[in-house]
A and B are shown apart, each in its own frame.
Chain A
Amino acid sequence: MSNIDRRTLVKGSLAAMMAGAAFSRSAFAQSSEPILLGVSGPLTGPNAQYGTQWKQGFDLALDEIQAAGGINGRKLAYQFEDSQSDPRQSVAIAQKFVSDPRIVMELGDFSSPASMAASPIYQRGGLVQFGFTNSHPDFTKGGDFMWSTSVSQADEQPLLAAYAVKRLGLKKLAILHLNTDWGRTSRDYFVKAAKEYGAEIAVTEGYIAEERDFRSTLVRVRDASPDGLILISYYSDGALIARQARQVGLKQTICAASSVYSPKFLELGGEAVEDVHLGTRYFPEDPRPEVKKFITGFKAKYNGQEPDAFNAYSYDAMHMAAAVVKIGGTDRRAVRDAFAKVKDVSSVIFGTATFDVESRRVKGAMNAELVVRKGQFALWDGKPT
């Protein structure tokens, strides 16, 4: 690229940005323009897989929203900006969205450092940051423009503990958890609940996200002689741990958090994840109509692919955004106020979702107790494994 080209490119895009800001204001009045949501999330970088899963859920939900007549006759659309889950880029994206009058609400980001670094900008700019995967307990404390449908770990972990201790009868537990803000918070809630139910915690081991080899960790687990393994993991690391546990000869019952709920967990884990127990928010044969609609719709749109937990989060988030915008319209403050007004929005994760205005989160996630049988997720029949 010659110097002249580069210079014109820079000038051109700067001019385009300014012109865009000026132009969009006038275009906004016309109702043929879609209502625009901003999404900040990873499309490249180490977390790129989650951004692609978000997109699948968003697109399916948008198809349904559009088919049902959109938002009072107007279409709903989103603008996805790649942040690589990097706080430096998520703050720039935040300013971009805040200063773009077409954006009525923001969704994301994925990781806590990227999301919470951008929160002050959204709060001061008066644009809702709807963090639908942000389980960090301090996320919604960033201000009254921060709302989240992420399942609170204070809700989820006691359910998992009840499954492991009360239903499966495990009394001495080894916990392996991702050493991130999510994994740590989850572990603490799990330990508290499990102890209340009368179980003993033999050992807890935190591992970093890039870890692939768990053999030595599993020797520590073996030496603590637990009768059950608890995995607070995502599906890829959960599958690795299950495989290696079986390879080193650990035969204990494995019980995992809902984040392993993905067809990839079965694919990556193979025979080793047979009989793994997990709590989830929904499951394939779930009789609830919203779940049936989600799963059949997803399979039809993506060549028979089974949806996973992150697909469900983003699908729900887009439907929630639509419900909010239906009430709040396109005024940013009204959109924020609408979060407190939406009632009983149909949701795969919650059944029906209503925000708790105090915590700006949704309580009461659905719960199903599953087990892997013959390479498929199935509702647990109460039989011991």
Chain B
Amino acid sequence: MSSWLDYTINGLIVGNVYALVAVGLALIFGVSRLINFAQGSIYLVGAYIGWVAVVQLHTPLPLTIIVVAVAAALVGLVIERFGLRPLQNSVRIAPLLATIGISFVLDQLVMLTFSPNPRALPSQLPDVRFQIGGGTIGPLDLLIAGVGITSALLLFVFLRYSKLGWAVRATAQDRDAAMQMGVDVNRVNQAVFGIAAALGGVSGMLVGMYYNQIDTAMSLQATLKGVVAEVVGGAGNVPGAVIGSLLLGLVESYGVAVFGTSYRNLFAFLLLVVVLVLRPNGLFASARQAPPEPLTGTFIAPSRPVRIPRWALLVAAAAFAILPLFPVSFYVLQTLINAWLLGMLALSLTLVAGTIGQVSLGHAALLAIGAYTSALLSLGFAVPVGLSIIGGGLMSAALGTALISPSFRLRGHYVSIATLAIGEIVSLVILNWESVTRGPIGISGIPPLSLFGYDLISPNSIYWFSLVVMIVLALLQARLLGSHLGRSFRAIRDDDIAARAYGLSLNRYKSLAFIFGGFAAGVSGGIAAHLYSYINHETFNTQQSILALTVVILGGLGNVVGAIVGSVALVGLPELFRIAAEYRILIYGIVLLLLVRFRPQGLLGTM
């Protein structure tokens, strides 16, 4: 029985660590209704500034904390002023994309300055241990708990009793009304970003000391766990974020206790999905709280799409179709094959996210389902490859829709978080369901693409095959959007209450969109599996999902041609920047930020 005490204590200790990130995220969400994907990067920056202070400058701990807090707050202010403020009147989704771009840039800057090798960040506290149950805790555990709880309390008091705190809350409730009442909204935002960033930086440093290890990969993990904890506690609710973090830590710890280490994150994300489905506003949201998203669909603002004449599209399609007949290198063709495969995924996501307004952050899961289905069908049941890919598409459509259906009642950001969690769950199930998926060993020896008994192995034939499949899917989708179905989809996106009042069944239309989208993504995954010949649980990861969303927003939400243009751009740009070696992802991040800044509605506009 004493083990359960240990599991409980361990859960609370790690929950404590999550709380530091979650509080910062909650604060920013509370004011600007924005999931700040750059929070993990500020955490990273804080850890490295802490390293400079401790190892190079030998500052004592209180001074280290102050240095890190001030420096991180400055980073936060710069992000707010130059990254987000210019976007405040544009589409609601633009700042989300901007924070993703900012996190690319910050992570890369840290990596270039400090090299990607992990470093030791020695703790400056005396190494005494206190015995609790079967384990021990140290002074850092207490300091982290102290910082987490104190900052949550201070923020709570600040928001409730100070004048600036009132202004923050007023801005959160209704930005325009607050402005009319004379609140300097920009100053409020600045204050919030400064505080959240200071907190993020200090937490990165403390967690680095806690593990005596900092490295550039810690940023994304911190964001993921922080987002889960924050949403479980109720997005925007600061004390809720602390309790959500502790709960997350406990669930993970008990998950390890009962099922073993490799199931740990599975429980974290299952907790998130369950909470979202049962209590979409989080466990600690009060009933009279205003709904977290506006009732009408201002999440995705309509814009005037760029109309491309039909002949131009035909010319472009023909030009790409005859490209392999010219002496272009196979490298260019392979890059375009990647673009066509990403294009199919983007078509799927632009339908789901853009046309019907369910912004998915877990779309790579659909690729994985399609890829594994097609690979296993062709290997285990000797299904011809062409048919197995269609099988992969169908499985992805069915399973993807079934998995996402519990979260159909969610809106806006909550859909993104639920899909993010579902994506992680699919990947972890693939890792653990060894009898079917072969677990971490992966599936090797997948047969190459073939059609009617002929193997497609030359780059030219693979190029034509994927181009044709993508064009067919694009034409089907364009046809769909032009029908009454497309109009219903857009009606649901723009105003789901009006749509419901008009007699549209939301769930049925959302299912239809996910079935069609799941098929396209599954086909893309299936083709990829036969192209690569080897896949495992890491082949289709979260970065793929984020890339797909970037493509869709870049091309213009719901825009079929935009999805394809965006795919070509985002596959092509990093390849063009190859000459810049280590700097290419940095340049890519900056280009992304500039695009969001100057064309938030996407290159071709929202349909």
> Using a CB–CB distance below 8 Å, which chain A residues touch chain B?
1, 9-10, 13-14, 17-18, 21, 43-46, 48-49, 51-53, 80-82, 84, 86-89, 91-92, 94-96, 98-100, 111-113, 116-117, 119-121, 124-125, 136, 138, 141-142, 176, 179-181, 183-185, 205-208, 210-217, 219-220, 222-223, 236, 239-240, 243, 247-249, 264, 267-270
Tell yes or no: B135 within 8 A of A by CB. yes
User: B residues within 8 A CB of A268?
Assistant: 118, 120, 212-213
Q: Are A184 and B439 in contact (CB under 8 A)?
A: yes
Min distance, Cβ A226 to any Cβ of chain B, angstroms? 15
Residues of B in contact (CB 8 Å), total: 82
Per-residue A-contact encoding for B438-464, CB less than 8 Å = 1, 0 else? 011110110010000000010100000
Query: B526 to nearest A CB, angstroms?
Result: 15
CB distance from B596 to the nearest CB of A (A): 15
Quick check: B117 and A216 within 8 Å, CB to CB?
no
Residues of B within 8 A of A267 (CB): 119-120
Residues of chain A lying within 8 A (CB to CB) of residue B17 = 213
18 A-B residue pairs with Cβ-Cβ distance under 8 Å, sorted by A, are A10-B576, A17-B332, A18-B327, A44-B582, A45-B585, A46-B217, A95-B459, A117-B534, A119-B533, A121-B334, A179-B262, A181-B536, A205-B260, A206-B260, A243-B211, A249-B136, A268-B213, A269-B212
Q: How far is the CA of A183 from the CA of B6 in the complex (A)?
A: 27
Chain A: minimal CB distance from B177 (Å) = 40
Across the interface, do A247 and B212 meet the contact criterion of CB distance under 8 Å?
no
Nearest B residue to A188, CB-CB: B441
Is the C-beta of B508 less than 8 angstroms from some C-beta in chain A? Answer: no
Q: Report Cα–Cα, A185/B441, bound state, in Å.
A: 8
Q: How distant is the Cα of A87 from the Cα of B571 in the complex, in angstroms?
A: 13
Q: How far is the CB of A351 from chain B (nearest CB, A)?
A: 28
The answer to whether A215 and B10 touch (CB under 8 A), given A13-B576, A113-B535, A270-B120, is yes
Given contacts A112-B536, A124-B457, A219-B3, contact A236 B262 (CB under 8 A): no
Q: Within 8 Å CB of B257, what residues of A?
A: 216, 219-220
Query: B329 near A217 (CB under 8 angstroms)?
Result: no
A179 vs B576: C-alpha distance when bound (angstroms): 35
Contact of B14 among A10, A14, A81, A213 (CB under 8 A): A213
A-chain residues with CB within 8 Å of residue B252 when the two chains form the complex: 216
Q: Does B355 reach chain A (CB closer than 8 Å)?
A: no
The minimal Cβ–Cβ distance linking A157 to chain B, given in whole angstroms, is: 15
Q: In the complex the two chains form, is A91's CB within 8 Å of B532's CB?
A: yes
CB pair A240 B213 closer than 8 Å: yes
Given contacts A80-B581, A205-B260, contact A92 B532 (CB under 8 A): no
The docked-state distance in angstroms from the alpha carbon of A18 to that of B333 is: 13
Q: Which of B244-268 contact A (CB under 8 A)?
A: 252-253, 256-257, 260-262, 264-265
- Cβ contacts under 8 Å, B505 to chain A: none
Interface residue B88 (Cβ < 8 Å from any Cβ of A): no
Flag if A116 contacts B533 (CB, 8 Å): yes
Report how far A210 CA is from B221 CA in the complex, Å.
Answer: 7
Cβ distance A178 to chain B, nearest Cβ, rounded Å: 8
A181-B441, A247-B136, A249-B136 given as contacts; is B108 within 8 A of A44 (CB)? yes
Task: List residues of chain B with CB within 8 A of the CB of A264.
Answer: 117-118
Contact of A21 among B129, B329, B444, B533 (CB under 8 A): B329
Residue of B136, B331, B335 with most chain A CB atoms under a 10 A cut-off: B331
Cα distance A61–B6 in the bound complex, in angstroms: 50
Closest chain A residue, CB of each to CB of B14: A213
CA distance A99 to B328 in the complex (A): 10
* Pair B129/A206 contact, Cβ less than 8 Å: no
| Pairs of residues from A and B, 4 with the lowest C-beta to C-beta distance, nearest first | A117-B532, A116-B534, A48-B116, A95-B334
Evaluate contact between A82 and B457: CB separation under 8 angstroms.
no
**Chain A residues within 8 Å of B338, by CB:** 88, 91-92
Chain A CB within 10 Å — which of B135, B327, B531 has the most?
B135
A44-B585 in contact given A183-B440, A215-B135 (Cβ < 8 Å): yes
**Given A82-B578, A207-B262, does the pair A249, B134 have CB atoms closer than 8 Å?**
yes
CB pair A208–B120 under 8 Å, yes or no, is no
Interface centre among A1, A88, A117, A119, by most B CB within 10 Å? A88
Asked whether A92 lies within 8 Å of B575 as measured between CB atoms, the reply is yes
Q: Is there an interface contact between A112 and B534, defined as CB atoms closer than 8 Å? A: yes
CB distance from B606 to the nearest CB of A (A): 21
Residue of B nearest to A123 (CB): B533
Q: How far is the CA of A207 from the CA of B539 in the complex (A)?
A: 18
Q: Helix, strand, loop or mixed for chain B's interface?
A: helix
Which residue of B327, B439, B538 has the most chain A CB atoms within 10 A of its CB atom?
Answer: B538
Q: For the complex, what is the distance from the CA of A161 to the CA of B346, rounded to whole Å? A: 49
Mask: chain B, 314-336; 1 = CB below 8 Å from A; 0 = not:
00000000000001111111110
Q: Is B495 an interface residue (CB 8 A)?
A: no
> Nearest Cβ distance between residue A117 and chain B, in whole angstroms?
3
**Is the Cβ of A247 less than 8 Å from the Cβ of B138?**
yes
Sample of 7 further A-B pairs with CB below 8 A, known A113-B539, A236-B215: A18-B328, A21-B329, A91-B531, A113-B536, A116-B444, A138-B445, A236-B118
Residues of chain A lying within 8 A (CB to CB) of residue B535:
113, 117
| B430 CB to nearest A CB, Å | 12
Contact A82 B135 (CB under 8 A): no
Report B-chain residues with C-beta under 8 Å of the C-beta of A184. Answer: 439-441
The reply to whether the CB of B7 lies closer than 8 angstroms to some CB of chain A is: yes
CA of A213 to CA of B302, assembled, Å = 45
Q: Are A141's CB and B444's CB within 8 A?
A: yes
B584 at the interface (CB under 8 A from A): yes
Complex CA gap A84/B582 in Å reads: 10
Are A181 and B581 within 8 A (Cβ)?
no
Q: Name B352-411 residues within 8 Å CB distance of A.
A: none
Give B554-571 as 1s and 0s: 1 = Cβ < 8 Å from A's Cβ atoms: 000000000000000001
Collect the chain A residues with CB atoms within 8 Å of residue B212's CB.
239, 243, 268-270
Cβ–Cβ contact B330 & A211, under 8 A: no
- Cβ of B78 within 8 Å of any chain A Cβ, yes or no, is no
Q: Which of B111, B135, B218, B539 contacts A249 (CB 8 A)?
A: B135
* Cα separation A51 to B111 with both chains bound (whole Å): 13
Partner of A216, one of B119, B138, B253, B534: B253
Is the beta-carbon distance between B253 and A117 smaller than 8 angstroms?
no
Nearest B-chain residue to A98, judged by Cβ? B330
Give the distance in Å from the alpha carbon of A300 to the alpha carbon of B582 in the complex.
25
| Cα(A1)–Cα(B459), bound, Å | 33
Complex CA gap A99/B221 in Å reads: 38
Contacts of A216 in B (CB 8 A): 7, 10-11, 252-253, 256-257, 261, 264
Q: Specify which chain A residues have a CB less than 8 angstroms from the CB of B116 in the assembled complex.
A: 48-49, 51-52
